[in-house]
Structure 1
Amino acid sequence: MTAPIRVLVCDDQMLIRTGLVTIIDAQPDMEVVGECGDGGSAVELAGTLRPDVVVMDVRMPVLDGIEATRRLAGAGVQHPVKVLVVTTFNLDEYVYEALRAGASGFLLKDAPPSQLLHGIRTVASGAALLDPEVTRRLVGRFATRIRPVEPAPDDIPLTPRELEVLRLIADGLSNSEIAAALVISQETVKTFVSRILTKLNLRDRVQAVIYAYRHGLAV
């Protein structure tokens, strides 16, 4: 048997936090190893409890969820922790800042429990959780912040087909949409995505979108 996914829940509203803990702990493949009500405590507990995933709220006292995420999963963190941001605030700015801080996913609190659990499993597996429509909105609103600050390298290590897939990822297409556009199977798309991330040393699709815009590979 594989070890259960170790989850730390951080939310300043006790009723919501208790609900999250109850839902997560009821899963045979998950274990809530701790809970807290502010970002500062989340950073401290993550250092001692070593969770696989931190379910993080955004607006909290002491230290907000964005800064806590940056300290747990941001660039330069020696032992980064995967963070799934779950909040009531459906604002593009929060999504953008959370992902910039290093979050692996973003969900709203009114999402059904099944979506939360899927999100935790997805993030724990090393993948990113970002709805394609959210990606489109983010790119549309914040593309000027990330395009292009670096020229595309002459020796970019991608095949023409991989470049094509990368551009479609940057357009916010899901795997199924990319498969339909290129008339290939979803499994083949997954293989292309995995190769792209490996070759460019990127963590997930979100970083792939930013890479494409930074290097002028997307329009």
Structure 2
Amino acid sequence: MSNDQAEPETRPCGLTPKGLERQKRILDAARDVFIEQGYDNASINDIMCRAGGSLSTLYRLFGNKLGLFEAMMTQTSNRVFSAFEAVECAIKRQETPEQALKRYGHLMLERVLSPEAVGLYRLVAMDCSSERERIQSLFYEQGPKRINDKLGAYLQSQVEQGNMRIRDTEMAAYQFMEMVKGNFQLRSLMGIEISEAERELAVEQAVELFLYGATCR
């Protein structure tokens, strides 16, 4: 059995502070290598050379290459998308829907167009490995679906309060998200710069269209 396929005999139930730091180093190195080389070409040996430590530690913590990728995706998603908890705070602060959606839209563009998020999107879009289906599922669950669920919950709360009339809040959340992103994600993948003025206009117009439509009021 090759190193990339080896499985550990046991997994730790808990980690010491030193162990957590070691785990973080491995995950940070894995993120860089996966983004640079893609999943299929990424080497476990290369990752451990950057992180320091032994292969046995990697297998004990993560099991195998796919387990390492899953843990890396979770760690990165937690860092990139944790700020979307602010959408839930909007409910408690009783912001108007327009205020909450604008804040959500700006935050979404900030996070989705970050170099780290764009790198992960490129990795997933270009992956041709045998684990492609699992990798795409992980990305979807940890990225788009995760942030969409936050917005969908907010929209549902507005429906229940009688502030909005939406047939399917989950679908509406995706529709709003796509209105804000437009072609920005594709442009970011191609290295085309997106100005602050464009971002501002995208959010303002998406909120206007989402809440009031395109007809004259």
| Structure 2 length-normalised TM | 0.26
| Structure 1 length-normalised TM | 0.26
Highest RCO, 1 vs 2 (Cα 8 Å, sep ≥ 6): 2
Of Structure 1 and Structure 2, the greater strand share is in 1
Of Structure 1 and Structure 2, the greater helix share is in 2
